[in-house]
Structure 1
Amino acid sequence: MAVRLLLLADTHVPKRARDLPAEVWRAVEEADVVVHAGDWVDVRLLDELEARSDRLVACWGNNDHGELRERLPEVAHAEIEGVRLGVVHETGQAKGREERMSREYDDLDVLVFGHSHIPWDTVTPTGMRLLNPGSPTDRRRQPHCTYMTATADKGRLSKVVLHSLPRPSAQSGALTA
C-alpha cells in the first residue's frame, strides 16, 4: 500500500513564523507520515504535529533545546513500506555530502535532512537518496519557502515533489523581518 509522506525541516515556530502556513497544515492532514528534520524551536509545534498527524518521524536540530532534545533523537530511523528512512538535521557542507552520508548512513535508502533551508534532492553513489525540503517558514536566500511530499511503496520512494509556498504576509500569521 502506498504511503504518503510530508517532509518538513526548519520550521522555527514561533521564532520565524507564528504558525505553519495553512497549505502545510492541509498537507499534514493528507499525509500518512510526517517527517520533520529538526529546528522546531518550540515544543508546542511538536505537540500539535503529534496530535494532527497519523505518524511522525522526527529529530531535533541545532536550535532545539530542553524538552525537544529530551523527546526527540538526534537521528531518527523508520522503515516505511520497505523504504529505510533516516532523519537528521545537519549533514555538513554541501561539497562531499553524498560521499560522507553514504559512509555514515550505509544502511539507509533515504536520508532527510535540514539546517541549510536550501532544498536538496540528490542520489549518492551507493544509491541513497538525500532530501532537504527547505523551510516552510524561513526562506533565507531562497526565492520561496518550501516543503516536500513523496510516496513510499514496495521499497521505493517515488513522486518526490518540492512545493513552493507564496510569500508570507502579515495576514497569514507569518512574521515579517
Structure 2
Amino acid sequence: MKIIVLSDTHMPKRGKSLPPRLLEELKDADLIIHAGDWQTIDVYDLLKAFAKVEGVFGNVDGKDIKEMFPEKRIVEAGGYKLGITHGHGTRKTTEKRAVQKFADEKVDCIIFGHSHIPIKKYEQGILIFNPGSPTDKRRQENYSFGIINIGESLEAEHIFFTKE
C-alpha cells in the first residue's frame, strides 16, 4: 500500500498548482493523507481524482474544510493505526503538541504538519512524521512531501525536490 502524505499546501497563496514531482507520485497512490492547512477545498478536489483522501484541518483552514475534516483522527491502513493532526496550538513545540494529542491512544504513526519542517523519527516505537510542505518550504532547503509504504512493515520516506 502506497500512502502519499502532505501538509501545508496553502493553495493558492503559496502555490497555484500541485508540483509535478508530487503529481507523479500521486498516480499510483492507494491513499492520500493531508495534515491540514489546505487553504482551499480545491486542493481536496484535485487530490481525490487520484485516490481516497483522509485529512484534518489546520489553523488557516476555513469553515468549508472544518466541516469536512476533524482536528484529529486515526486512520487504519494495512493493519496500522495512523494518527493525524495539524499540530497548531500554544505552548510546547509543534511536534510535542502532535504527540500529546495521541498520548492516550494506541497508534503506530503520528502524522502532523504546521511547522513545514520535515521530521522522521521514532519515539517509543511510534513513527513521528511531518512531511514538510510541497508548496511552501519556508526556511527549508527543499520542498517536500512523504510516502508511507505498508507491506509487512510500515516504512516512511521524504521526497525532497526543488521547484520545477
Q: Report the TM-score when normalising by structure 2.
A: 0.90
CA root-mean-square deviation: 2.1
Question: Which residue, 69, 73, 86 being the options, matches 1:72?
Answer: 69
Measure, in 2, the Cα distance between the counterparts of 1:94 and 1:8.
Answer: 19
Q: Which moved more, 1:3-12 or 1:73-82?
A: 73-82
User: Match for residue 61 of structure 1?
Assistant: 58
**Contact between 1:98 and 1:123, CA under 8 Å: does it hold in 2?**
no
| Other structure's SS at 1:118 match | coil
* CA distance 1:58–1:105, change in 2 (3 Å): farther
* Structure number, greater radius of gyration: 1
Question: Which residue, 156, 159, 162 being the options, matches 1:163?
Answer: 159
Measure, in 1, the Cα distance between the counterparts of 2:31 and 2:159.
Answer: 17
The alpha carbon displacement at 1:14 in A equals 0.2
User: Match for residue 19 of structure 1?
Assistant: 17
| 4+ long deviations beyond 6 Å | none
User: Match for residue 117 of structure 1?
Assistant: 116
Whichever residue aligns with residue 117 of structure 1, its letter is H
Q: Report the TM-score when normalising by structure 1.
A: 0.83
**Contact between 2:47 and 2:53, CA under 8 Å: does it hold in 1?**
yes
Measure, in 2, the Cα distance between the counterparts of 1:107 and 1:140.
Answer: 32
Q: Percent identity?
A: 31
* 1:22-78 deviations in Å (ceiling 9; x for gaps): 11112111211111100000111112212x122211111001011000111111221
Whichever residue aligns with residue 112 of structure 1, its letter is I
**Contact between 2:98 and 2:110, CA under 8 Å: does it hold in 1?**
no
Question: Which residue, 76, 84, 99 being the options, matches 2:81?
Answer: 84
User: Match for residue 101 of structure 1?
Assistant: 100
User: Where does the alignment leave 5 or more consecutive residues of structure 2 unmatched?
Assistant: none
Question: Which residue, 23, 42, 65 being the options, matches 2:40?
Answer: 42
User: Match for residue 29 of structure 1?
Assistant: 27
* CA distance 1:40–1:123, change in 2 (3 Å): same
The alpha carbon displacement at 1:20 in A equals 1.0
User: Where does the alignment leave 5 or more consecutive residues of structure 1 unmatched?
Assistant: 173-177
Whichever residue aligns with residue 23 of structure 2, its letter is W
Measure, in 1, the Cα distance between the counterparts of 2:134 and 2:148.
Answer: 16
